Amino acid sequence: MEEAREYRVLISDKVKQLTIKEAYDYIDAIQSFTGDWPLYLAPKEVLEAEGERELESITPIPATYGALAFLEFYVDEEELAEKLARLVGARAVHIRGALERGVPLHRLAPTHVLEELEGLGKYIVGYLFEAGIPLRRRLTGEEVSKLKEVPWVVEVEVLETVMFGVEPRAVEIELKRSYYVGEYLRRLERLFINAMPKRGSLALIRGTGDASKTLEHLEALLGELVRGIPAEELTLMYARLVLPI
């Protein structure tokens, strides 16, 4: 068993006390930021995608152990289907059917249509997230198996890559100096210019969660997880490449 350590998402406590659905606009503001980050991260699903496609990227939320990204949000079907149907000119039954099959919201309508929805977060019931956690050594087969036994974990991927990290304390200083999300992210851009490259193992741990739970709740789950693996206390920022809609 590894020594105890604290996993913290490096945003304000006020936001972390919100439910994921309540914090949706804040999360989206970070992830839609087009940052000049030192690393473009391409997981297996991106590398193995067929055909030539222009990839999109999201900016993850910094953490004491790596970074945290919300890859997909899932919504309550009934009310949202009616609303989207009016906006995109489709039949509600077709949109509802897609939602029931688990099609992510961002694949049902273009961004400009989703922006017209008022209080989008209130429709969200669940999400798929990815914790990018730097490691002091590569995970053993037994450690990977144990991770996959965690109820909320759906996939574990370990990459060998060059990472650019900074001490979490330096990120916390920039957070305290910032009044707005955009200011915080621009400060982080400048901070990561001087991040030193280091080759090593990066665990991408994907899981699902209930959007009515707080971000602090997710933080606690990830805290339990990092105590059992050789995680390295190092904050990462990168452009997480995703397949286009």
Give 15-26 pLDDT, tens digit per residue.
999 999 999 999
Q: Is residue 5 part of a domain?
A: no
Give the residue among 124, 152, 130, 21 at the shortest CA–CA distance from 70: 130
Quick one: pLDDT at residue 51? 61
**Which residue would you say has higher pLDDT here, 53 or 120?**
120
> What confidence score (pLDDT) does residue 179 get?
95
Three-state DSSP at 210 gives strand
Q: What pLDDT is attached to residue 2?
A: 46
In one-letter notation, the amino acid at residue 2 is: E
* Residue-number span of the structural domain to which 151 is assigned: 13-74+123-242
pLDDT at position 46 over 80: no
Rounded to 5°, the CA angle 147-148-154 comes to 120
In percent, the amount of the chain with pLDDT more than 90 equals 69
Number of domains composing the chain:
1
Is the pLDDT assigned to residue 1 strictly greater than 50? no
pLDDT computed for residue 5 by the predictor: 67
Which range is least confidently modeled, 29-33, 108-112, 122-126, 210-214?
A: 108-112
What confidence tens digit (pLDDT) does each residue in 138-149 have?
A: 999 999 999 999
Indicate whether 234 belongs to any domain. yes
Q: Is residue 87 part of a domain?
A: no
45 lies in some domain? yes
Q: Is residue 116 part of a domain?
A: no
Supply the pTM of this predicted model: 0.87
- Mean pLDDT, the chain, whole residue set: 89
In a domain, 93, yes or no: no
pLDDT in tens, 154-174: 999 999 999 999 999 999 999
Residue predicted with more confidence, 42 or 166: 166
Structure confidence by residue, pLDDT tens digits, 183-241? 999 999 999 999 999 999 999 999 999 999 999 999 999 999 999 999 999 999 999 99
β-pairing, 196-210 with 153-166?
Answer: antiparallel
* pLDDT score, position 223: 97
Task: Please give the pLDDT value at position 117.
Answer: 67
Confidence (pLDDT) at 35:
92
Task: Indicate the helix (H) or strand (E) that contains 153.
Answer: strand 153-166
Q: Which residue has the tokens 């009016």?
A: 86
Q: Tell me if 95 is assigned to some domain.
A: no
Domain annotation covers residue 205: yes
Return the residue matching tokens 């606690």: 220
